[in-house]
Amino acid sequence: MIFGGFLSLRWRLIGPLLAVWAVGMALLVTVLYTSILERFRTLVDQRANAIVSAVSSAAETAREPADLRRFVSSLGAARDIVRVVLVAGEPARVVAASDHGWQDQPVTALPEQALPAHLLAALAARKGERRLDADLRRLDVLEPVLLVGGGASGRLEEGVLLLSLDAASLWQAAWQTVVHLSLWLGGILSAVAGLIYVLVSRYVLHPAEAIREALGRRREAGDSALVVPVMRRDELGELAGALNDMLVTLRTRNRQLAHSRDQHLAMLESFPHLAWRAGLSGDCDWFNRAWLDFTGKTLEEEVGEGWLEGVHPDDRDNCLAVWRRAFEAREPFVMEYRLRAADGSHHWIADHGAPIHDGDGVFTGYVGSCYDLQPARDNARDIKRMTRLYHALSATNKAIVHSRDAATLLPQVCRVAVEFGELDLAWIGFPEQHSSVLKATAVQGRGCWADLSIAGLECRLTAVGVPAEALIVNDPAASPVTRACEGCVAHTPEGSFAVFPIRLGEGPDGVLVLRKAEKNFFDEHTVALLDELSADIGFALRNYRRDETLRLAAKVFENNSEGIVIVDPQRRVVMINRAFSSLTGLAGADVIGRQLFLFDPARHPAGFASTVRDLAAASGLWQGEVWIRRAAGDTFPADFSVSVVRDGEGDIAHYVGVFSDISQRKAAEERIHFLASHDFLTGLPSRAALAPILERALEAAAREGHRVALCFLDLDRFKNINDTLGHHIGDELLIEVGQRLQSVLRDGESVLRHGGDEFVVIMPQAGDRSVLASAAGRLLSALDEPFLLAGCEFSLSTSIGVSVFPEDGLDGEILLDRADMAMYRAKEDGRNGIEFFADGMAAPTSERLSLEHALRRALERGELALHYQPVVSAVDGQLIAAEALLRWTHPELGNIPPDRFIPLAEESGLILPIGNWVLDTLCQQLAAWQAEGRHMVPVAANISPLQFRRADFVASVAEALRRHDVPPGLLTLELTESMVMRDVERAARQLDELKALGLSVAIDDFGTGYSSLAYLKRFALDKLKVDQSFVREINTGPEDRAIVAAIVGLGHNLGLELVAEGVETGEMVNTLRELGCDSLQGWHYGKAEPAAQFADRLGRA
């Protein structure tokens, strides 16, 4: 039997015996089965040989085929013969067969499919073959034989015998023989195994079980007098006798141990310290009264491992490890751990354990005593805490001395409180305005508060606000203050916390909040020291605030842009600021302690200073404009105020004078009057002055009978200068133009800036047409000389239109309009010329206005369209991108070229709605191609300067992409150099924003403008497009080739892709490839095509 993990010898022997018997039987059956198969084959072969011999003999001796057939037919009647067939002849045929239907049949006509092949093969090879199917118990024999021929000669013919035997009866006979033999042998083997088991059970197992049962009864009954029976005089009998002797000895020693144990227990029970005892198993089985009184538990609760429940969880594993190690080594041990007292607190105790032995030195267990270390530890902790708090107080005072402001002091105070005061969290906060919420300004923590930030820390003392005195909570769970708090204590109430007020005198008070992750941390001495600490902090903050006020006042006084002087009632200077010295030229050493004479006596009467003081003393303040004399003797106008400072008794203690130089204001007023009628840039009379000047000239001419000429000047292509060189260069150019025009004026002539790049010259003493032409030529010649600006020399052309009073009009506005019309005719005739007004000149202007009007309606009528020109790879000519180009088809005027309507759109401001339409239409087309499954390539759109300068440009691009759900990588924006160089900082910012969207940015017409390479590298660009003006002549001269090579090298060094425009021939392609261009665009690869036609180029993805 099995008794709880015990396995008896009986079962240990039965198992192996059964296994040996099973293996023997398996081997026996295997051997016998092999014998059956061998015997079966032998019997079958003998039977087949007999039949084959009989058939062969009959075949050789038979004179007639009928005799042979009768013999074969008789063989077929036997039960074990399935089929007999004789085959011979050429061609082979069945001579005789047990199946009469087969006789005289050709072999190939036999019904079984594989049989003819086997017969013919055996006949040809003259070789026998036997196949035994053991599962079907069947033998097939093919054997060559000789037969008597059918002719008169009686020759023997070669043939083949087919014999099929059913061997089931032979197999049954062999099987019965082997089964009988197996039963006899298995019975003999089983009898031998049973005999062996009976003998072992009688002489070994039964005595062993008797010994075990006797020991079990002795253990269960607790009767030490029971003896082990001795059944026979053999080895097991001697073992039983030795056990009886051992039990007697053990019984005697147990009595001695019990007596000794009782004596020890009596002694330890009265021991004043905690005592315990453990038995041989290692479990504690006794604790003295002092232990039970300390823990507040009964002996039944503590024995075994019950005492371990009182050990602090953090010490339990280490305590068990020390105990087990000492118990296994049978050696004394000393360890310290925390044990829970009856009041629930944990005390540190020192546990001393030692092994105990009986009189013979045999180990009988352990005994130990414990000493309560907690009082000594508490005392040492209190001393250490107070020492650290004194250090914290000292460090705080040192920080107060060395810190200059609260921002430096408060973090140091929190750090000192945590590092020196052994606190887990310290923070200082101040209440928000009209709220009890305290916001932290400095914080320091450790442990779970180590990562606490100022932003995430606040305290809501909704019930008490900032306390009047220290608020101490050593047990948050039992304090009503904790329930009133909605801040850090409510979220993490474990441990102790304290709130100490920081008194600031003026303004809201602050608090010092301290946290400790243990209860009862803040005792009376700790609170007293921390109260002193918070008082020192308040004192320091009040001083900082007072010092800051003084420093601020001093800074305001010293750094005030107005001059300030303080004098006593005797007019002696007490203090001056820096602005006073700067404005008057008088240093402090020159005036302090001396009477001050500040006002200019030439502009103010005698006694003016005394009058000012008297008025200030009467009303408390005097204000007015005065003239002040500087140390150098010159004077300046000033706004001056004098205020009175009185002492505690109400007497005048000081006068404070504050003044500021208003020279610039006075000049500005004069400048304002000047600018009201003059251009601020050139200093010339402005459009506002044109009407009165012209009116006076016309009145004089009408009165005296003179002619008046009005010349309207417009600088040709001035916009290109602004866009290329920047507005600051354009402004310098306008100033020099004004100066040159003024330099060639005659007496009585006036030049005015009409606006932008337009000037008007009035000639009140105009002569005949030839004289006027000469006078206008004088103006034109003044501007023919080259201009030198920004280190560049260039020429400027001017178009001049002239109208004459009274021939061309009697009114100033009419004359101005007609001079303007004449100026536009001069531009249309090639620019840089002079044109006099004549009838019929209004037609071109009307045509321009009509075209502008038609362009405004073009968007509404859907006359604008985008065409797409391919951009290919310079390496293999594959389509890699495209450029969207704007086309206008007017219903009456037909196709209007872009160079005609684009400038008009830019001048009229229509370029903004057109540019937005281009972006939206392009994104819509990209989305449509994407939905059709086209092979997508990036498409570029040209951006106008006016469009790029708009503040919402980047947002409008992003909105177009979002509205049509187009990937940003499919859109490229093309800008010109002048656009990005106009305002470098703004352009760089806008390009960064465009790149952030995921778009590509290209510089179009690169090389035609004026840009700084130092600025160019700052821009977030992707491509440079070489202008077609360089590409067109690249193979006709070395200059353009060198320029393109330089642009390619520059672009590649900046990490940019180079695109060549205007590629029209194969020679251009080869040259551009040699120079390293990445992409090519031009008529050589295709003109701009409508969207539907370009879609065929894209193909399907």
Show the CA angle centred on residue 355, arms to residues 351 and 361, nearest 5°. 165
Evaluate the CA torsion angle 567, 572, 574, 577 in order and state its sign.
positive
CA atoms of 714 and 779, how far apart (whole Å): 12
**Tally of CB atoms within 10 A around 900:** 11
Helix (H, G, I), strand (E, B) or coil at 178: helix
CA atoms of 680 and 671, how far apart (whole Å): 9
Give kind and range of the element (H or E) at residue 87. strand 81-88
Q: How is domain 378-544 classified at the CATH fold level?
A: Beta-Lactamase (3.30.450)
Q: Tokens 């009864």 map to which residue?
A: 217
**Tally of CB atoms within 10 A around 43:** 16
703: phi > 0 → left, psi -120 to 50 → alpha, else beta; which?
A: alpha
CA distances from 333 to 275, 336, 445, 1101 (A): 14, 10, 39, 84
CA 44 to chain CA mean position, Å: 87
Residue 286 is predicted with a pLDDT of 85
CATH 3.30.450.20 applies to domain 560-667:
yes
- Domain 852-1098: give its CATH superfamily: EAL domain (3.20.20.450)
Residue 1 is predicted with a pLDDT of 37
- Global pTM value: 0.35
What is the full DSSP assignment across 423-486?
A: -SEEEEEEEPTTS-EEEEEEEEE-GGGTT--STT-EEEBTTT-S-SS-EEES-GGG-HHHHHB-
Pick the closest to residue 1055 from 1019, 1031, 1014, 1007 (CA basis).
1019
pLDDT one-digit tens code per residue, 54-108: 877 877 777 677 777 888 777 777 777 878 888 887 888 888 887 777 888 888 7
At position 611, the amino acid (one-letter code) is T
Q: Tokens 């391919």 map to which residue?
A: 870
Helix (H, G, I), strand (E, B) or coil at 712: strand
For β-strands 1057-1060 and 1079-1081, DSSP reports them as parallel
Structure tokens at 846: 């009307």
CA atoms of 450 and 517, how far apart (whole Å): 13
Q: What is the CATH number of domain 676-839?
A: 3.30.70.270
Give kind and range of the element (H or E) at residue 828. helix 812-828
CA atoms of 348 and 553, how far apart (whole Å): 61
Residue 2 is predicted with a pLDDT of 41
Q: How many CA atoms lie within 13 A of 906 on its CB side?
A: 15
- Strands in 250-378 per DSSP E: 274-278, 284-287, 333-340, 346-357, 363-372
How is the chain split into domains, by residue range? 272-372, 378-544, 560-667, 676-839, 852-1098
CA atoms of 385 and 387, how far apart (whole Å): 5
| Helix, strand, coil percentages for the chain (3-state, nearest 5) | 50, 25, 25
**Tally of CB atoms within 10 A around 733:** 21
**Tally of CB atoms within 10 A around 869:** 21
Task: Judge whether 378-544 and 560-667 match in fold.
Answer: yes
Instruction: Give Cβ neighbours of residue 958 (< 8 Å, ≥ 6 apart).
Output: 997
Q: Which residues of 566-588 are buried (b: 16+ CB within 10 A; e: fewer)?
A: bbeeeeebebbbebbbebbebee
Terminus-to-terminus CA distance in the chain, angstroms? 82
CA atoms of 927 and 961, how far apart (whole Å): 9
Give kind and range of the element (H or E) at residue 550. helix 524-559
Cβ–Cβ < 8 Å for 150, 88: no
Rg (CA), the chain: 62
Instruction: Give Cβ neighbours of residue 135 (< 8 Å, ≥ 6 apart).
Output: none
Instruction: Give Cβ neighbours of residue 712 (< 8 Å, ≥ 6 apart).
Output: 754, 758, 759, 760, 800, 801, 802, 803, 816, 819, 820, 822, 823
CA atoms of 709 and 452, how far apart (whole Å): 83
Cβ–Cβ < 8 Å for 133, 117: no
Q: Which residues of 158-168 are buried (b: 16+ CB within 10 A; e: fewer)?
A: ebbbbbbbbbe
Structure tokens at 699: 């009145």
**β-strand partners of 442:** 428
CA atoms of 414 and 515, how far apart (whole Å): 11
Task: Please provide the size of the chain in residues.
Answer: 1101
Instruction: Looking at 573-710, list the stretches that DSSP marks H as alpha helix, in order from N- to C-terminal side.
Output: 578-584, 588-591, 608-619, 663-675, 687-704
Q: How many CA atoms lie within 13 A of 1067 on its CB side?
A: 7
CA atoms of 145 and 104, how far apart (whole Å): 17
Residue 919 is predicted with a pLDDT of 94
Instruction: Give Cβ neighbours of residue 1026 (< 8 Å, ≥ 6 apart).
Output: 1006, 1007, 1044, 1047, 1048, 1058, 1059, 1060, 1061, 1077
CA atoms of 74 and 51, how far apart (whole Å): 12
CA atoms of 511 and 465, how far apart (whole Å): 10
CA atoms of 419 and 422, how far apart (whole Å): 6
CA atoms of 790 and 15, how far apart (whole Å): 114
CA atoms of 889 and 865, how far apart (whole Å): 8
Helix (H, G, I), strand (E, B) or coil at 659: strand
Residue 801 is predicted with a pLDDT of 93
Residue 626 is predicted with a pLDDT of 92
1062: phi > 0 → left, psi -120 to 50 → alpha, else beta; which?
A: left
Task: Give φ, ψ of 1025 to 5 degrees.
Answer: -105, 115
CA atoms of 472 and 63, how far apart (whole Å): 141
What is the rounded (10 degree) CA torsion for 580, 585, 587, 591?
-80
Cβ–Cβ < 8 Å for 14, 197: yes
Low-confidence ranges of the chain (pLDDT < 50): 1-4, 462-463, 843
Residue 434 is predicted with a pLDDT of 66
pLDDT one-digit tens code per residue, 830-864: 788 899 988 656 545 556 667 777 888 888 888 99
- Residue 172: DSSP 8-state: H
CA atoms of 341 and 311, how far apart (whole Å): 10
Residue 846 is predicted with a pLDDT of 55
CA atoms of 1035 and 1071, how far apart (whole Å): 8
Q: How is domain 272-372 classified at the CATH fold level?
A: Beta-Lactamase (3.30.450)
Q: How many helices (H) and strands (E) does the chain have?
A: 35, 39
